[in-house]
Amino acid sequence: MIRQRSRHRLLDRVFRILFPALVLLLLNGCSSVSYYSQLASGQLRLLQAREPIDRVIADPARDPTLRAHLAQARKARAFASAHLHLPDNKSYRLYADIDRPFVVWNVFATQEFSLAPQNHCFPIAGCVAYRGYYSQSAARGEAALQRLRGMDVSIGGVEAYSTLGWFNDPILSSMLHWGDERLATLIFHELAHQRFYVKDDTEFNESFATFVEQQGTRQWRAHRGLAPDNGNKVRQRDQFIQLILDTRQRLETLYAQPLPADQMRQRKAAEFERLRADYAQMRDTQWAGDKRYDAWVYAPLNNARLLPFGLYDQWVPAFAALFERENGDWVAFYAAVENLGRLPVDERKAALKALSASKPLPP
């Protein structure tokens, strides 16, 4: 009974937080009632589904594989706060079974001849380069509407997200499919968003969290006595991302030219074919024919499909250089990141470019 009362108090608190925010958003005219209603109801369902990880692990009636995964996640969560100096709170010490492969589906959209994302603005998170839906069918509906408007559109499933410390975020069942190390990386990534977040700068936030995820994973492996994971998978991932970023750069140069639409369209298509050709050559000559990225490359390509790479990876070399400059001291690194985040946006990007230039790409 006491537990039930605590749960009711929690839900009361959720309603007090979520619904005033929802009303504010609607009054500001940011979007439709239905969109924000699904955000509020989706988050509320997640909160209702949470339970302590310790309880799941201790229950012999629960699935043994689930309990084993959560036991490893508990260790990674403790490591995140003790060694990576990430927030020490109840986030990722709770579990929620959501019975679907992704928690949300993000819809990315750009103009036909632009790599600038269509941004969506929220009072707490600021402006982000996508719109999230708790239902895949709703995301597909939004994507269809954007296509009718002539936009380039892409849908990406998301395994986890951070509420930036507003709620105690749970480990979701959608986070468990790729193994214990992948689960640890997701925990590090999402806690990094809680550690520091700059409103209206998706590239900064995601690149920062991606660096924390990657460096944290390296240290997590070392902590467990495992060899560094710097073999073929890491090299291939880095080379593939660089291939995408190079394509983005060429497209940005193309879109800046005053060309007729038909000619622009042809050259755009040619750039995507060049991406496929460059990928095939790299795969066959350097990767011994490893086809891990074939499905992505040979699916229909457009501007929006390239957006997550620029958002999540653009400034990772800059943060790596900053981490080295601070001699691998996490506390000093976070302080330096906060200083960067306080700069005006133009100065911030200039500083990040200078840091990136000082960090050579891996061979």
> Do 319 and 255 reside in the same domain of the chain?
yes
Q: Which residues of 261-283 are buried (b: 16+ CB within 10 A; e: fewer)?
A: eeebeebbeeebeebeeebeebb
Domain boundaries, position 280? 232-357
> Do 205 and 295 reside in the same domain of the chain?
no
Residue written as tokens 């060899």? 227
Which residue, among 155, 188, 154, 146, has the nearest Cα to 171 in the 3D structure? 188
Tens digit of each residue's pLDDT, the chain (363 residues) = 344 345 534 543 544 455 445 444 444 444 567 888 888 889 889 989 999 999 999 999 999 999 999 999 999 999 999 999 999 999 999 999 999 999 999 999 999 999 999 888 776 667 888 899 999 999 999 999 999 999 999 999 999 888 888 889 999 999 998 889 999 999 999 999 999 999 889 889 999 999 999 999 999 999 999 988 766 787 898 899 999 999 999 999 999 999 999 999 999 999 999 999 999 999 999 999 999 999 999 999 999 999 988 777 889 999 999 999 999 999 999 999 999 999 999 999 999 999 999 865 444
Neighbours of 38 (CB within 10 A): 17
Question: Among 169, 191, 223, where does a domain finish?
Answer: 223
Question: Among 223, 258, 273, where does a domain finish?
Answer: 223
> Do 202 and 280 reside in the same domain of the chain?
no
> Do 183 and 290 reside in the same domain of the chain?
no
> What does the alpha-carbon distance between residue 31 and residue 48 come to, in Å, rounded to a whole number?
26
pTM of the predicted model, to two decimals? 0.84
> Do 218 and 237 reside in the same domain of the chain?
no
